[in-house]
Amino acid sequence: MTTVDRIHQLREQLHKYNYAYYVEDKHLISDFEFDQLLKELQGLEAQHPELYDSNSPSMRVGGSVTKNFQTVTHNERMYSLDNTYSAEELGDWLKRIEKINGAPITSFTCELKFDGASINMTYVNGELQKAVTRGDGSQGDDVTANVKTIQNVPLKLSGDYPQVFDIRGEIILPLAGFEALNEKRVAAGEEPYRNPRNTASGSLKLQDSSETARRPLECFFYALSGDLTYTSHWESLSKARSWGFTVPKSMEQLSSLDELLEYIDRWGKQRAKLPFEIDGVVIKVNSIEEQETLGFTAKSPRWAISYKYKAEQVSTRLNSVSYQVGRTGAITPVANLEPVQLSGTIVKRASLHNADQIEKLNLRLGDYVYVEKGGEIIPKIMGFDPMRRGDLADTIHYITHCPDCTAPLHRIEGEAQHYCTNETFCPTQIIGKMQHFVGRKAMDIEGIGGETIALLYHQGLVKNIADLYRLQKEQLLPLERMAEKSVDNLLAGVLASKRQPFHKVLFGLGIRHVGETVAKRLTQHFGSIDRLMKSNAEDLLAVDDIGEKIVESLHAYFMHPDNIQMIEDLRAYGLSLEAEKIVHASSVFEGKTIVVSGVFEHKSRNELKKIIEENGGKVGSSISSKTSFVLAGDSMGPSKKEKANKLEIPLISESAFYEML
């Protein structure tokens, strides 16, 4: 046997042993024998670098060094999940989605909600091509080299896998592995890690992948995406399991609210005995067609929800209350606590949310308060110990003036929050707005961090975001920590930001309630800042995801002369205040909203949606009175057909669709 043949044989054997161990739960050889084969492969590959394979089993050992993790845009957005905490809330969710669906929903999947780091992996021709962290949901960091070191992540697949697809999972650190890591750190005189979740997440961003390989990480997979033809979530994950992915056996297919609650209760009781941390259960509508009908809100899928178990609670002393000013002027009261350990982290502060919450809790300085982590993340105060109270004279009352600029606070009718009225000159607001503007989700200006913005403001060099484009090299060089290279990078980043698209600029303005998704909707609909500024309430409400609060916020922003002047300054400096013109292949679908449903003979659903948009149309997520027609393929669900017929919306076949083109 030649060396080349032996290398290929070893790779094939080791992939087979990994598949057997992680998918079929079979031990075909001992750990010692496996390690010996792996060492042999590493030795042969070192002698023949020309036979490098990015998905060789030897990649499990790591060794590559990544100094800067590349930012990658996800093929499909990674949404977060809405949470529910009771049987009543779960029942309400079920009623809501059945109303939108237009028919009862009788098939769900239930999965454990693993407490780790979310990851999206792309496979091409059965090989792992890319692994990207969740990031902000739209884009994340490429951590492929580190993920390849995780033993149960398949580098090469078996079976009838699609040519190209994405799969999502949760990378976790089992409790035994976490404890072993901490034992080594303590023995070496180092601080122990706080909790498995943060340690798992941090492991993905280690610069040396061989360090990641030393951590006993695992990945549990929970969703496929891409141009796929499966009719149910259960079917897609069953397929994924057969290709080599670790899909937990705890996943079950259920059909009623009672069964969902039984699953939640059963795993709630077993939770403490699990070898890894979970913080709840994820419930998903099983039918892919019903998922498409339900669609998404701006932040989360309507067809999935997380049931969170009751959080751990501890008692500690309330020492003081401070008030934070946000970039929109919102005032958030924060409780400063005697440090206490909670769910693996040291908690020193907890949000008190707003004036109503302070009044409801009736707290005093010196109280011993009960603290828990809302959704296992953000600490919050649940109440106080009546036997250990502070003095009556130290009862906490909400402030009336801004802690930063002393301007009076104002509470908008219908909102819980108080706001500083000094929008133009309140230092914290101005700095916060500029920090938001330069951030990665907005203008993504390299070379300017939060501290630099604060420094520029306090030195009198910037008073609003337009001032960033007036900065000169000679102004910056005398500043602390501003060497020539830093200044050049900062100015280059400012210049490069002029190429950012209109929706990024609009989001970067920091208008209250205008997040990333809303900014995209507005720019797509109106096309320019001028049309947006001239729009009335009726125009705005006609846009998807735009409600009364956003309308009021936009009008308030554009009525302020300082804001208008700043926008004109940004225009003068060359920022994009118009959406790029989309050149359509034709205008045959202009003004039409088209819903695509079913399985098609010649094109995939994603390809058909792209054709609709390329020819001037808009793709609808669900059938409504605004739908122009439904492009209906085979296996279109009866509930969708019934809804289309009820609303007298035409069903167009694939062949008729091509004739229209």
Catalytic residues: 113
**H or E element: which one contains 622?**
none
Tokens of 65: 């060094």
- Cβ-based burial of 468 (10 A; exposed 0-12, middle 13-18, buried ≥19): buried
- Non-local (6+) Cβ contacts of 188 within 8 A are none
| Tokens standing for residue 550 | 């956003």
Cα–Cα distance, 71 to 362 (Å, whole number): 46
146: closest CA among 265, 251, 65? 65
> What is the amino acid identity at position 42?
Q
Cβ atoms of residues 157 and 77 within 8 Å: no
Query: Does residue 204 contact residue 117 with C-beta atoms inside 8 Å?
Result: yes
> Which residues are CB-contacts of 203 (< 8 A; sequence separation ≥ 6)?
146, 171, 173, 211, 212, 215, 217
Inter-axis angle of helices 548-558 and 561-572, to 10 degrees?
80
Residues making up the chain, counted from first to last: 661
Residues 6+ away with beta carbon under 8 Å from 22? 151, 152, 154, 244, 246
Q: Answer whether 366's CB lies under 8 Å from 394's CB.
A: yes
> Closest Cα to residue 488, out of 457, 448, 437?
448
Compute CA distances 655 → 543, 596, 600, 619, 632, whole Å. Answer: 31, 14, 10, 18, 10
State the alpha helices, DSSP H only, in 155-247: 175-187, 196-203, 209-213, 233-243
CB-based contact 594:620 (threshold 8 Å): yes
Q: Distance from first CA to last CA of the chain, Å, rounded?
A: 58
Q: Rounded CA gap, 599 and 227, in Å?
A: 11
